[in-house]
Amino acid sequence: MSTTATNFTEEFVQVDFGKVHMMKGGTGQPLLLFQDDLGSPGWLPFYEDLARSFTVYVPSHPGFGKSERPNWMRSTRDLALSHLWLMKTLGLESASVVGIGFGGWVAAEMATMCHHIFDRIVLVGAVGVQPTEGEILDQILLSGEEYTKLCFHDPAKFEALYSAETTVDQREVWEVNREMAIRLAWKPYMFNQSLPHLLGGVDTPTLVVSTKDDKVVPASCGRRYADLLPNARLEVLRDCGHCADVEQPVELAALISGFVSQK
Amino acid sequence: MHLMYFTEQPMSDYPEEEARKAGGISALMLSNKHFDAVDGSRLYNERIEEYLYAEEVGVDGIMLNEHHNAPFCMQARVNMYASILAAMTEKVKIVLLGNPLPVSDNPIQLAEEIAMVDMISKGRLVSGFVRGGGSEQLANNTNPAYNRERFEEAHDLLIKIWSEPGPFRWEGNHYQFRVVNPWALPLQKPHPRIWIPGVSSIETVTWAAEHRYPYICLNTTIQQTQDIWEVYDQAAQRVGYKSGPEQRGYLIRCHVADTEEKAMKNGREFMWMLGEFTGLGHPVWFSPPGYSSPESRRRRAETQVTQRADSFDKQLENKNIIAGTPDQVIASLKQILEETRPSILALWGNDGKVDHKDSMDCIRLMGQEVMPALREIGKDLGLDSPFEVDSPISLAETPASELLPVTV
């Protein structure tokens, strides 16, 4: 697998609800990075790019990847609350956050719960709000591999990360993650009907990023976030599917660095 | 023995080529634009006629099941046919295998329906429960990750409804009810017998054994069946009873005809059924994320492609399908009975495009020739059914004095 193995550490953070697997790298102001529900097969070049400007924390969501599953957890809001607790455990009074896909939903929920926890918010292809046009692609009718392939604009980039023949280990990780995703977001699938009513209270500067060829999350989700958040702007990346962090790492990292570094 | 007749109630008139375009997978997503209600009406009524005839020719029980979004099974509500048969038949047991508990958001309603059927049938109901296959969860939009938890909680609630007077309150993990107090209660006290059908989920086999509920193996191979009994027997021993044929059931595809030629022609129709038992279940829909235990997750990760079933000839050879004249069928079933020793046997007689006349012939030969012979064989082998030995309906209803010392 093509991941970067340079300057990062890997650890398990013990929080009362369970062990959280976390990768961490770089120096500078703290930047939390919440992955999509697919997880990631390691320290991605995108993380490395961001680590040039920030201390990047990449926790696996509880129940995803190598993080312990809290069996009581029933909703994405529960998950968001657990991340607030994780931040407290890490001694992060505030941080900027980048949420990819499902991770964007988690970040948005956290922001509605604690208006000043984030300095800057970046939502990339975020689910969490019901699309006003189109539907969020239902991964439950697809295999993990079929779904992940649809997350890419360029099949070569899928293969570069996961190889043309995916491994049983990788497919098992997808199964673990999909199982946790549906424990949290089965119905309604991947959105919270209350969230749009609460986003108006979040005045944190927010960058909403959509991609031109996102087959998973309709563009209307990005537009909705940008409309509902009082201090948000929308950027659209070209030649890119749902996995912008893998397909356009340099462009996305530059966009984020510029936005987060503004004071 | 307790000998039952079963059919999946296929909707045989959909264009097979449409299912083939979808890789041979007909359940869940094959468009219902292919459903013809005129045919549906005819088929539903033919089935009723066949069930009534099964009773007339001496079948002990009629086994019913349900599936959703599936041309291979037109029964969408097992309790609907059960209620029809409760009113129209006199003697046969009505055996539900079963109500898919997790897909129900209201187990109280199920308790009421089951109680009504039991009363209308004058106590002829066997109330089996199932988890429902993976695609059933998708068709009903029930979270597969909580399937087993919902199954067990719904079961516990039903048993409480039938064992303790209401009103009471239920604040469970997946079900919450302010007032549990259904007026209708079963005629059989405290409740009808509960049988659990399944394929090979070790967790379900163990759960059934721990409750002393008979387990009905659904067309498993002889080896799989024997392996299941080993798991069942050990679990029974652990909770304090010795299991026997009265806890063992078996369903097998078995077509009987006057001539071997016709039996083979109609037997092939079992292969037509583009459903789960031919191995054409979609690998994801069959076992969506969270549906199976974490232990079998690895197996799911290894299985990416749809597995084709063995050929008809191979399945005949392995006695996974039986087709023949009464004498031929009796000989094959005798071997199965000897090797797996169930006291409950369901013969899945007709499927696919087997027409009404041949279905009726098959039922006649089953009732008048095959089943009488099987009863004799069963007697020789000591395969007494739960009704014949009047076995306790559950572990909870087993007198403490009859329990063996529990092994730790």
- Whether residues A140 and B288 touch (CB distance < 8 A) is answered with yes
- pLDDT of B405: 86
Label the pairing between strands B248-256 and B321-324. parallel
- Whether residues A140 and B138 touch (CB distance < 8 A) is answered with yes
**A176 contacts on B by Cβ (under 8 Å):** 297
**B301 contacts on A by Cβ (under 8 Å):** 168-169, 171-172, 174-175
Given a cut of 90, whether residue A262 has pLDDT beyond it is no
Given a cut of 80, whether residue A77 has pLDDT beyond it is yes
Given a cut of 90, whether residue B14 has pLDDT beyond it is no
Q: Which amino acid is at A168?
A: V
**B288 contacts on A by Cβ (under 8 Å):** 140, 182
pLDDT in tens, A91-100: 999 999 999 9
For chain B, the structural domain boundaries read 2-402
Task: Label residue B299 by pLDDT band (50, 70, 90).
Answer: confident
> Cβ of A141 under 8 Å from any chain B Cβ?
yes
Name the residue facing B302 among A168, A179, A187 (closest C-beta).
A168
pLDDT in tens, A48-69: 999 999 999 999 999 999 999 9
**B297 contacts on A by Cβ (under 8 Å):** 172, 175-176, 179
Query: Where is average pLDDT lowest: A110-114, A218-222, B317-321?
Result: B317-321
Could you tell me which residues come within 8 angstroms of residue A234 by beta carbon, excluding any fewer than 6 positions away?
Answer: A208, A209, A210, A222, A223, A225, A226
- pLDDT of B305: 59
- Region A137-154: mean pLDDT is 96
Residues A163-202, buried b or exposed e (16+ Cβ, 10 A)? Answer: eeebeeebbbbbbbbbbbbbbbbbeebbbbeebbeebeeb
Residue of A171, A180, A189, A190 to mutate when probing chain B, most B C-beta within 10 A: A171
Nearest to residue A55, comparing CAs of A45, A47, A44? A47
Q: Which residue has the tokens 């045919």?
A: B39
- Whether residues B145 and A172 touch (CB distance < 8 A) is answered with no
**A181 contacts on B by Cβ (under 8 Å):** 289
Distance from CA of B287 to the nearest CA of A (A): 10
A vs B, Cβ pairs < 8 A, gives: 50
| A contact residues 161-200, partner B, Cβ 8 Å cutoff | 168-169, 171-172, 174-176, 178-179, 181-183, 186-187
- Whether residues B138 and A186 touch (CB distance < 8 A) is answered with no
- The chain B residue lying nearest A177, using CA atoms, is B289
- Region B140-161: mean pLDDT is 97
- Region A122-147: mean pLDDT is 97
**B290 contacts on A by Cβ (under 8 Å):** 178-179, 182-183
pLDDT in tens, B84-134: 999 999 999 999 999 999 999 999 999 999 999 999 999 999 999 999 999
Given a cut of 70, whether residue A1 has pLDDT beyond it is no
- Whether residues A183 and B298 touch (CB distance < 8 A) is answered with no
- Whether residues A187 and B143 touch (CB distance < 8 A) is answered with yes
**A145 contacts on B by Cβ (under 8 Å):** 304
**B289 contacts on A by Cβ (under 8 Å):** 140, 175, 178-179, 181-182
Name the residue facing A172 among B143, B288, B298 (closest C-beta).
B298
Q: Which residue has the tokens 């046919």?
A: B81
Name the residue facing B301 among A175, A181, A183 (closest C-beta).
A175
- Region A24-43: mean pLDDT is 96
**A168 contacts on B by Cβ (under 8 Å):** 298, 301-302
Q: Biggest alpha carbon distance in chain A? A: 46
- Whether residues A181 and B298 touch (CB distance < 8 A) is answered with no
Residue of B69, B149, B285, B300 to mutate when probing chain A, most A C-beta within 10 A: B300
- pLDDT of B330: 98
Given a cut of 90, whether residue B295 has pLDDT beyond it is no
Label the pairing between strands B321-324 and B344-348. unpaired
- The chain A residue lying nearest B137, using CA atoms, is A140
- Whether residues A178 and B289 touch (CB distance < 8 A) is answered with yes
pLDDT in tens, B184-236: 999 999 999 999 999 878 999 999 999 999 999 999 999 999 999 999 999 99
Residue of B69, B143, B291, B305 to mutate when probing chain A, most A C-beta within 10 A: B143
> Cβ of A143 under 8 Å from any chain B Cβ?
yes
Mean pLDDT computed over every residue of chain A:
96
Nearest to residue A160, comparing CAs of A172, A174, A148, A175? A148
- Region B283-293: mean pLDDT is 88
- Whether residues B301 and A187 touch (CB distance < 8 A) is answered with no
- Whether residues B301 and A171 touch (CB distance < 8 A) is answered with yes
For B408, counting Cβ atoms within 10 Å of its Cβ (0-12 exposed, 13-18 middle, 19+ buried), the class is exposed
**A141 contacts on B by Cβ (under 8 Å):** 29, 138, 284-285
- The chain A residue lying nearest B296, using CA atoms, is A172
Mean pLDDT computed over every residue of chain B:
93
- Region B318-341: mean pLDDT is 97
- pLDDT of A6: 65
Residues B42-64, buried b or exposed e (16+ Cβ, 10 A)? Answer: ebbebbeebbbbbbebbbbbbbb
**A183 contacts on B by Cβ (under 8 Å):** 143, 145-146, 290
- pLDDT of B283: 83
- pLDDT of B200: 74
Query: Where is average pLDDT lowest: A241-245, B242-246, B297-301?
Result: B297-301
Given a cut of 80, whether residue B172 has pLDDT beyond it is yes
Residues in chain B: 408
Label the pairing between strands B61-64 and B176-180. unpaired
Given a cut of 90, whether residue B297 has pLDDT beyond it is no
> Cβ of A138 under 8 Å from any chain B Cβ?
no
Q: Residue B39 in 3-state DSSP?
A: helix
- pLDDT of B53: 98
- Whether residues B304 and A176 touch (CB distance < 8 A) is answered with no
Residue of A148, A177, A183 to mutate when probing chain B, most B C-beta within 10 A: A183
- Quick one: CATH architecture of B2-402? Alpha-Beta Barrel (3.20)
Name the residue facing A182 among B289, B297, B304 (closest C-beta).
B289
Could you tell me which residues come within 8 angstroms of residue B164 by beta carbon, excluding any fewer than 6 positions away?
Answer: none
Given a cut of 50, whether residue B239 has pLDDT beyond it is yes
- Whether residues A141 and B300 touch (CB distance < 8 A) is answered with no
Count of C-beta atoms within a 10 Å radius of residue B109? 12
Domains located in chain A, CATH noted = 8-261 (3.40.50.1820)
Given a cut of 70, whether residue A2 has pLDDT beyond it is no
**B173 contacts on A by Cβ (under 8 Å):** none
Which contacts of B44-51 are long-range, i.e. CB under 8 A and separated by 24 or more positions? B44/B9, B44/B74, B46/B356, B46/B359, B47/B7, B47/B9, B47/B74, B47/B81, B48/B84, B48/B85, B48/B88, B49/B356, B49/B360, B50/B7, B50/B350, B50/B356, B50/B359, B50/B360, B50/B363, B51/B5, B51/B85, B51/B88, B51/B89, B51/B92
